[in-house]
Amino acid sequence: MKMTFRWYGEEDPVTLAAIRQIPGVAGIASAIYHIPVGKAWPCEAIKELKEKVTAAGLALEVIESLPVHEDIKLHRGKFLEYIENYKENIRRLAAEGIRCICYNFMPVFDWIRSRLDHPLADGSRTLAYYKTDEKTMDPAKMVLPGWNTSYFPEEIDGLIKAYQILGIEGLWVSLKYFVNEIMPVAIECDVNMCLQPDDPPWPVFDIPRIITDEAAIDRFLALYNDTHHGLSLCTGSLGCAACNDIPRLVRKIGGMGRIHYAPMRNVKILQDGSFEESAHPSFCGSLDMEAVMKAYYDIGYTGYMSPAHGRMIWNEEGKPGYGLYDRALGAVYLIGIWETLKKECVPDSHRTGHMSS
């Protein structure tokens, strides 16, 4: 397992120097954020990002994310041009040594929350999704970290209607076409493509969402029979639906070699199906994080992991969900579990008291 940390570039309040000080974190997950979706990323911009990360004593390991243009998802307009640009981006990233690229196929929006700074009993603030908020949420006014904002707010209503017409099966058709176009390039470049599950894994604003549970994941993986075609299995995205057994999914899909990136976060599921993002330890939420980590350990996982969204603690201000302190605590917590699992498998007579890298 290789622990990484999400970084939003020079505009991120969290600096690379600070990330470098988190024990056990050696890799960065980032992207080129200023280039419009659908365009080819300039080679110079990719090299500059890599050089900044390397200069800080870290490694650029994961691209999170390489966004998919809405025309591709809707199979309309300039979708062929945008797919060609997407292929070129895979080639350019591979040329700089990137072997793991994340993306999602969520219509219009990426992950959605109804509140960005919900106060918890301990005084921290967190992301939350309350189903009672759905009727008052205005999609034209919603902007969350990591979203593509190039459509806001003028085209939102039209996009929502287009997806409602396209429907679930239409979106599956678009995804199959896209996957079959990009995967030969990814395989040629030896790049693992990682699809992020829908977050939350149910329809919002009557927009279809398709990567929601085990059956949907099975259907997705069947679109292309190659291990480069895999998942970014986020515990929080799938875990906020109680029907999804995360340790089981890790053993099944990871055992097939189809999990290449593992964003880890805990959520507290409420009685009506709403949820609040919690601190990473198991007792803070509804997910058994130790069981998830053990599943990864048991399958011999060697891919990338990261502490995904965190709370805002200790009066920190920054991007909602992407502060430094709580995610740093999460990283160390996960690394601690991993260390314990490793030591449990080593006979006492072989222990020296010194840790190996």
Domain membership flag for residue 76: yes
Structure tokens, 355: 């840790």
Count: domains in the chain = 1
- Which residues have C-beta within 8 Å of that of residue 142, sequence separation ≥ 6? 109, 112
Domain membership flag for residue 356: no
d(CA 224, CA 245): 24
pLDDT of residue 216: 97
d(CA 15, CA 62): 17
Confidence check: pLDDT of 134 > 50: yes
d(CA 69, CA 53): 27
Domain membership flag for residue 87: yes
Residue-wise pLDDT tens digits, 180-237: 999 999 999 999 999 999 999 988 888 999 999 999 999 999 999 999 999 999 999 9
Q: Give the phi and the psi of residue 351 in degrees, each rounded to 5.
A: -85, 135
CATH of residue 249: 3.20.20.150
- What SS3 class is residue 166? helix
- Which residues have C-beta within 8 Å of that of residue 347, sequence separation ≥ 6? none
How far are the Cα atoms of 64, 71, 236, 338 from residue 81, in angstroms, in the given order? 22, 10, 33, 44
Domain membership flag for residue 357: no
Residue 302 identity (one-letter amino acid): T
Give bridge partners of residue 13 from the DSSP assignment.
Answer: none
Total-model pTM: 0.93
Place of tokens 């072989």: 350
Domain of 201, in residue numbers:
2-350
DSSP 223-266: TS-STTEEEE--HHHHHTSTT--HHHHIIIIIHTT-EEEEEE-E
Residue-wise pLDDT tens digits, 266-323: 999 999 999 999 999 999 999 999 999 999 999 999 999 999 999 999 999 999 999 9
Read off the DSSP letter of residue 346: S
355 pLDDT band (50/70/90 cuts)? very low
Radius of gyration of the chain (CA): 20
Domain membership flag for residue 355: no
Domain membership flag for residue 130: yes
